[in-house]
Every structure is written in C-alpha cells, then in structure tokens.
Structure 1
Amino acid sequence: MKVYICLIVALALAAPAFGKVLDRCSLAREMSRLSVPRDQLARWACIAEHESSYRTDVVGPTNSNGSNDYGLFQINDYYWCQPASGRFSYNQCHIGCNGLLTDNIEPIVRCAQEVLRMQGWSAWSTWHFCDGALPSIDDCF
C-alpha cells in the first residue's frame, strides 16, 4: 500500500502544472478585490472569455510578426512582456511573459490595465465581441 501511495505522489509531482481556469464570476470577484473599477468587470470578463476561455496558462500561436500572446488576456510579447527567448520586446509592463501565465492574476491584471491605459479596449482583437451591452456581473457578488 505504501508503494502505491508513493507512486501516486511521484506521478502527481511529475505531472505538468496546468494553469488556473476561472469563470466569469470568479474573475470578476478577483479583479474587484484588486480594485479594478466595477464598471469595467463585465468587459474584462468578456475579453478573458474570448481570448483564453478564462485560462491563465494559454500561450497563443505565433503571430505573423513572430510575437506570441500570453495568459488570461493574451498580452503580446512584442510590446508588453519579455519572452524567455530573450527576443526583443518593449516590455512596457516590466514583466517576463511567464509571469503572465501564473495562477496569481495580479500581475496579469496590472499589465492588462496598462495595455488598456495606453491603447484602449480595441487593443484586443476580440473587442468586437465585448463592445456594447454586456450581461451584468452583479449576480457574481
């Protein structure tokens, strides 16, 4: 029995880590806790749904310019984060791209807010799904 338990523990430790999968309400609550304005929460939830299906560990396919998009909000590594490869990046969020793939969404949210501040909502290619009336997030609180 001890061998069986040791084997299960060893396999669990060897398994690759999978990112956190949020849902609309858990994202809204976590972002609210991080002081994101409540009137923005439905838009952020919509973007996360369309960009990553609320998953924190998503790295998008390579874009036509050789860049990649990372994490919950698919933040681009050419402008916003430093890829591990050392390839050039403006790194406006002052973060390594792997820092956008964590279960702790605070650095992800802070970087996304910087993208919003500098480029507006249209920085996200999925913005057209989120422009206009959205379901209220009030039922999440």
Structure 2
Amino acid sequence: MARRLERCELAGLLYILDVPKSELPLWLCIANFESRYNTHIVGRGNADGSLDYGLFQISDRFWCTPPSETTYYTFNECNVNCTELLTDDITRAVQCAKRIKTQQGWTAWSVFGEFCNGTIDGIDKCFGAV
C-alpha cells in the first residue's frame, strides 16, 4: 500500500538508506516538490510520452522499465521496474535517485533550480536537535 510520508519520517528513512545527513534537506525538498512525499504518484505524461514515478518522480524513459509497452526506447539505467518505485519500501527509489544524482547532479530534477537551490529548511528537529 502506498502512502504519504511525513517529512521527518522520510528524513529518517533516507538516513537509514545511507543518504548523508548533510544532503537530507535537498532530498526532502526534491521529494516535497516532486511528489509531496507520496510514494504512489505517477506524474502526468511528459512531452515525449514518458512518465515519472514515485517520491522522486523518476523517468521511465531513462531510469526504470515501465509496466507496459512504450512508443519510445527505455534505457532502464537503474535496472528496476517502475512499479517498484511506487511502494512504501522506498529502498529502490532511493537507490535509483542516488544513481541519478551521481550521473547528473541535483539539476536532474527540474524543481531543484526553482525551489531547492537556496535556503531550505534544515532537518535538526527530525533528529532531536533543538
């Protein structure tokens, strides 16, 4: 069953999945603006007909295999079925998002430049700091 995660809940899950604490505010910002922390979101179709999946809105054109045939070639760089990015177990989504960040940087997410490339909320309160 897919659901909407709470901000600090997602911060904890990302940290457990080896996302560096210093990067958590950016990951949270991206997840917020891409999916509003929803694990089950499939985005509206892109101009090329591709779809984006899950918390980080990962494209089926480049990163995952869509559940049905497409008119475009898919690369599946994350070696994952797109439906695996739509579950409460966010492990595969995080692994794929990390790969995307490694290959393309934060600007792989269109929301980065407009919403996440400045002052963003910290995560101290999520980890008990005041």
Q: TM-score, normalised by structure 2?
A: 0.92
* 1:43 paired residue among 9, 13, 26: 26
Q: Which residue of 2 aligns with 1:131?
A: 117
Shift of 1:137: 0.1
Tell me how large the CA RMSD over aligned residues is: 0.9
Which consecutive unaligned segments of at least 5 residues does structure 1 have? 1-16
The DSSP-based 3-state class of the residue aligned with 2:93 is helix
Aligned residues: 124
CA-to-partner distance for each residue in 1:55-109, whole Å, 9 max, x for gaps?
0000001111010000000000000000011333100000000010011011010
Q: Which residue of 1 aligns with 2:75?
A: 90
Using CA pairs below 8 Å that are at least 6 residues apart, which structure has the higher relative contact order? 2
Between structure 1 and structure 2, the one with the greater Rg is 1
Range with bigger deviation, 64-73 or 125-134: 125-134
Which consecutive unaligned segments of at least 5 residues does structure 2 have? none
Question: Aligned partners of 1:23, 1:113: CA distance in 2, in Å?
Answer: 20
1:81 and 2:64 aligned: yes
Q: Which residue of 2 aligns with 1:3?
A: none
Aligned pairs (5 A) from 1:1-141: 17=1, 19-87=2-70, 88-127=73-112, 128-141=114-127
Kindly report structure 1 stretches of 4+ aligned residues shifted beyond 4 Å. none
CA-to-partner distance for each residue in 1:44-65, whole Å, 9 max, x for gaps?
1001110001000000011110
CA-to-partner distance for each residue in 1:10-53, whole Å, 9 max, x for gaps?
xxxxxxx5x12112111100000111100110001001110001
Percent identity, please. 47
Question: Aligned partners of 2:82, 2:62: CA distance in 1, in Å?
Answer: 11
Question: Aligned partners of 1:134, 1:80: CA distance in 2, in Å?
Answer: 27
Question: Aligned partners of 2:59, 2:6: CA distance in 1, in Å?
Answer: 22
